[in-house]
Structure 1
Amino acid sequence: MLKLPNPLTKTQYSVERYIRSIGRHYLNAVVVMTFLIGATYLTVMIALDRHSLQQNISFLTSSQFIRFQQLANQTRALMRASADSNLPDYIIAPMVEDIRGAITEIRTMSGQLEELHHRIGQNFLEELNPRDETSEELRVELSGRLDDFLDRAARVAAASKEDRRQRYTFWGPIDFAVSSDSVLIRQFSDLIDRAHNRSDISIDNAKKIMSALLALIAGTLILASTFLFSPLLKKLRNEHRRTMDFENQLTQLAHTDPLTGLDNRSAFNSAIGNLFSGLKTKEAGFSMLVIDLDRFKNINDSFGHPAGDAVLRHVATALQNTFRSSDVVARLGGDEFAVLLPGIVDAASLAMVANRAIEAIAVEVLFEGHTFQISASIGGALVPIHATDEPSLIRIADLALYAAKSARSTVVIFDEASLALRLEANQLSAALVVAADRNEFIVHYQPKVSLLTGEHLGFEALVRWRHPELGILAPGRFLPLMEGSHLIRGMTRAVVAIVSHDLRAWKDAGLIPGPIAINLPEALLVGEEGYEMLAGAIRENGLDWRDFAVEVTEDVFINRSADQILGTVTRFREHGLSISLDDFGTGFASLVHLRDFPFDELKIDRSFVANIGTDIRSEQIIRAMVDLSRNLGKRCVAEGIETDIQRRFLLSAGCEIGQGYLFAKPQPAARAGAHLPKRFTGSKKSVAARSDIGRTTGWLTGSQPLNPSETVG
Structure 2
Amino acid sequence: MIGKPPSKPRQSVENYIRSIGRHYLQAVIVMTLLIAATYLTMVVALDRHSLQQKISFLTSNQFIRFQQLASQTRALMRASADPTLPEYITSPMRDDIHRAIGDIHAMSAELHELHQSIGGNLLERLNPRDEVSEQLRLELYARLEDFLERATRIANATTEDRRQRYSFWGPIDFAVAADGMLMRQFAELIRHVHDRSGVSIDNAKLISTGLLALIAATVILASILLFGPLLKKLRNEHRRTMAFEKRLTLLAHTDALTGLNNRSSFNAALGNLFGELERTGSGFSMLLVDLDRFKSINDGLGHPAGDAVLRHVARALQKTARASDVIARLGGDEFAVLLPGIRDASVLDAAAERAIEAIAAEIPFEDRMLQVSASIGGAVVPDHAVDEAGLMRIVDLALYTAKGSRSTTVIFDETALARRLEENQLSLALVLAADRNEFVVHYQQKVDLPTGAHLGFEALVRWQHPELGLLAPGRFLPLMEGTQLIRGMTRAVIAAVGRDLKAWKAAGLTPGPVSINLPETLLVGDEGYEFFAGTIRENGLEWRDFAVEITEDVFLNRSADQILATVARFHKHGVSISLDDFGTGFASLVHLRDFPFDELKIDRSFVDGIGRDARSEQIIRAMIHLAQSLGKRCVAEGIETEGQRRFLKDAGCDVGQGYHFARPEPAALAGKRLPRQAAAIDRHTAAGAPAASRRRLALR
Give the letter aligned to residue 19 of structure 2.
Q
Aligned counterparts of 2:683 and 2:324: Cα–Cα separation in 1: 79
Aligned match of 1:536: 534
Q: 1:630 to 1:274 in 2, by over 3 A?
A: same
Aligned match of 2:77: none
The 8 Å contact of residues 354 and 411 in structure 1, kept in 2 or not, is answered as yes
Structure 2 residue aligned with 1:425, among 413, 423, 426? Answer: 423
Pairing 1:558–2:556 present: yes
Q: 1:666 to 1:127 in 2, by over 3 A?
A: farther
Give the letter aligned to residue 313 of structure 1.
R
Aligned counterparts of 2:335 and 2:525: Cα–Cα separation in 1: 36
Structure 1 residue aligned with 2:405, among 407, 414, 419? Answer: 407
Pairing 1:623–2:618 present: no
Residues 381-428 of structure 1, C-alpha deviations (whole Å, 9 max, x = no match): 111111111111111211111111111111111111111111111111
Structure 2 residue aligned with 1:675, among 673, 676, 687? Answer: 673
Residues 183-209 of structure 1, C-alpha deviations (whole Å, 9 max, x = no match): xxxxxxxxxxxxxxxxxxxxxxxxxx9
Aligned counterparts of 2:638 and 2:688: Cα–Cα separation in 1: 23
Does the residue aligned with 1:340 lie in a helix, a strand or coil? strand
- RMSD value, Cα: 3.1
The 8 Å contact of residues 434 and 488 in structure 2, kept in 1 or not, is answered as yes
Aligned counterparts of 1:346 and 1:355: Cα–Cα separation in 2: 15
Does the residue aligned with 1:556 lie in a helix, a strand or coil? helix
Pairing 1:360–2:353 present: no
User: What pairs with 1:326-337 in structure 2 (closer than 5 Å)?
Assistant: 326-337=324-335
Pairing 1:121–2:18 present: yes
Residues 628-657 of structure 1, C-alpha deviations (whole Å, 9 max, x = no match): 111111111110000000001001100121
Aligned counterparts of 1:278 and 1:693: Cα–Cα separation in 2: 81
The 8 Å contact of residues 120 and 126 in structure 1, kept in 2 or not, is answered as no
Residues 263-319 of structure 1, C-alpha deviations (whole Å, 9 max, x = no match): 111111111111111112222111111111111111111111111111111111111
The 8 Å contact of residues 300 and 555 in structure 2, kept in 1 or not, is answered as no
Residues 602-644 of structure 1, C-alpha deviations (whole Å, 9 max, x = no match): 1111111000001111101111111111111111111000000
Q: Structure 2 stretches of 5 or more lacking a match?
A: 26-215, 690-700
Aligned counterparts of 1:520 and 1:240: Cα–Cα separation in 2: 62
Aligned match of 2:171: none
Does the residue aligned with 2:678 lie in a helix, a strand or coil? coil
The two structures have a TM-score, normalised by structure 1, of 0.65
Give, in angstroms, the shift of residue 233 of structure 1: 12
Give, in angstroms, the shift of residue 248 of structure 1: 2.3
Give, in angstroms, the shift of residue 511 of structure 1: 0.8
Pairing 1:518–2:516 present: yes
The 8 Å contact of residues 16 and 230 in structure 2, kept in 1 or not, is answered as no
User: What pairs with 1:221-370 in structure 2 (closer than 5 Å)?
Assistant: 242=240, 244-370=242-368
Aligned match of 1:477: 475
User: What pairs with 1:96-111 in structure 2 (closer than 5 Å)?
Assistant: none
The 8 Å contact of residues 10 and 237 in structure 2, kept in 1 or not, is answered as no
Does the residue aligned with 1:314 lie in a helix, a strand or coil? helix
Aligned counterparts of 1:262 and 1:688: Cα–Cα separation in 2: 68
Pairing 1:645–2:640 present: no
Aligned counterparts of 1:125 and 1:326: Cα–Cα separation in 2: 57
Aligned match of 2:682: 687
Pairing 1:592–2:587 present: no
Does the residue aligned with 2:566 lie in a helix, a strand or coil? helix
Q: 1:240 to 1:125 in 2, by over 3 A?
A: farther
Does the residue aligned with 2:433 lie in a helix, a strand or coil? coil
Aligned counterparts of 2:283 and 2:334: Cα–Cα separation in 1: 24
Aligned counterparts of 1:426 and 1:642: Cα–Cα separation in 2: 34
Structure 1 segments, 4+ long, off by >2 Å, are 111-128, 231-248, 483-486, 685-694
The 8 Å contact of residues 276 and 389 in structure 1, kept in 2 or not, is answered as yes
Give, in angstroms, the shift of residue 552 of structure 1: 1.1
Give the letter aligned to residue 650 of structure 2.
S
Aligned match of 1:601: 599
Does the residue aligned with 1:680 lie in a helix, a strand or coil? helix
Give, in angstroms, the shift of residue 369 of structure 1: 2.1
Structure 2 residue aligned with 1:660, among 626, 635, 658? Answer: 658
Give, in angstroms, the shift of residue 322 of structure 1: 0.9
The 8 Å contact of residues 531 and 568 in structure 1, kept in 2 or not, is answered as yes
Aligned match of 2:438: 440
Give, in angstroms, the shift of residue 581 of structure 1: 1.0
The 8 Å contact of residues 289 and 340 in structure 1, kept in 2 or not, is answered as yes
Residues 27-46 of structure 1, C-alpha deviations (whole Å, 9 max, x = no match): xxxxxxxxxxxxxxxxxxxx
Structure 2 residue aligned with 1:572, among 570, 573, 578? Answer: 570
User: What pairs with 1:442-461 in structure 2 (closer than 5 Å)?
Assistant: 442-461=440-459
Structure 2 residue aligned with 1:500, among 498, 501, 508? Answer: 498
Does the residue aligned with 1:122 lie in a helix, a strand or coil? helix
Aligned match of 1:633: 631
The 8 Å contact of residues 642 and 660 in structure 2, kept in 1 or not, is answered as yes
The 8 Å contact of residues 485 and 523 in structure 1, kept in 2 or not, is answered as no
Does the residue aligned with 1:433 lie in a helix, a strand or coil? helix
The 8 Å contact of residues 302 and 558 in structure 2, kept in 1 or not, is answered as no
Give the letter aligned to residue 384 of structure 1.
P
The 8 Å contact of residues 513 and 546 in structure 2, kept in 1 or not, is answered as yes
Aligned match of 1:154: none
Aligned counterparts of 2:560 and 2:245: Cα–Cα separation in 1: 49
Residues 75-98 of structure 1, C-alpha deviations (whole Å, 9 max, x = no match): xxxxxxxxxxxxxxxxxxxxxxxx
The 8 Å contact of residues 553 and 583 in structure 1, kept in 2 or not, is answered as yes
Aligned counterparts of 1:334 and 1:611: Cα–Cα separation in 2: 36
The 8 Å contact of residues 449 and 654 in structure 2, kept in 1 or not, is answered as yes
Give the letter aligned to residue 342 of structure 2.
I
Residues 447-498 of structure 1, C-alpha deviations (whole Å, 9 max, x = no match): 1101122110111111111011111111111111114453111111111111
Aligned counterparts of 2:338 and 2:24: Cα–Cα separation in 1: 54
Does the residue aligned with 1:458 lie in a helix, a strand or coil? strand
Aligned counterparts of 2:237 and 2:503: Cα–Cα separation in 1: 87
Aligned match of 2:608: 610
Give, in angstroms, the shift of residue 240 of structure 1: 6.5
The 8 Å contact of residues 677 and 693 in structure 1, kept in 2 or not, is answered as no
The 8 Å contact of residues 603 and 637 in structure 1, kept in 2 or not, is answered as yes
Give, in angstroms, the shift of residue 117 of structure 1: 4.0
Aligned counterparts of 2:638 and 2:266: Cα–Cα separation in 1: 46
Does the residue aligned with 1:631 lie in a helix, a strand or coil? helix
The 8 Å contact of residues 17 and 230 in structure 2, kept in 1 or not, is answered as no
Aligned counterparts of 1:686 and 1:255: Cα–Cα separation in 2: 72
Give, in angstroms, the shift of residue 118 of structure 1: 5.0
The 8 Å contact of residues 502 and 540 in structure 2, kept in 1 or not, is answered as yes
The 8 Å contact of residues 518 and 549 in structure 2, kept in 1 or not, is answered as yes
Q: How many residues align?
A: 493
Does the residue aligned with 2:464 lie in a helix, a strand or coil? strand
The 8 Å contact of residues 291 and 401 in structure 1, kept in 2 or not, is answered as yes
Aligned counterparts of 1:290 and 1:315: Cα–Cα separation in 2: 13
Give, in angstroms, the shift of residue 679 of structure 1: 2.3
Aligned counterparts of 1:352 and 1:689: Cα–Cα separation in 2: 58
Pairing 1:487–2:485 present: yes
The 8 Å contact of residues 546 and 578 in structure 1, kept in 2 or not, is answered as yes
Aligned counterparts of 2:245 and 2:525: Cα–Cα separation in 1: 53
The 8 Å contact of residues 462 and 666 in structure 1, kept in 2 or not, is answered as yes
Give the letter aligned to residue 123 of structure 1.
I
Give, in angstroms, the shift of residue 115 of structure 1: 7.7
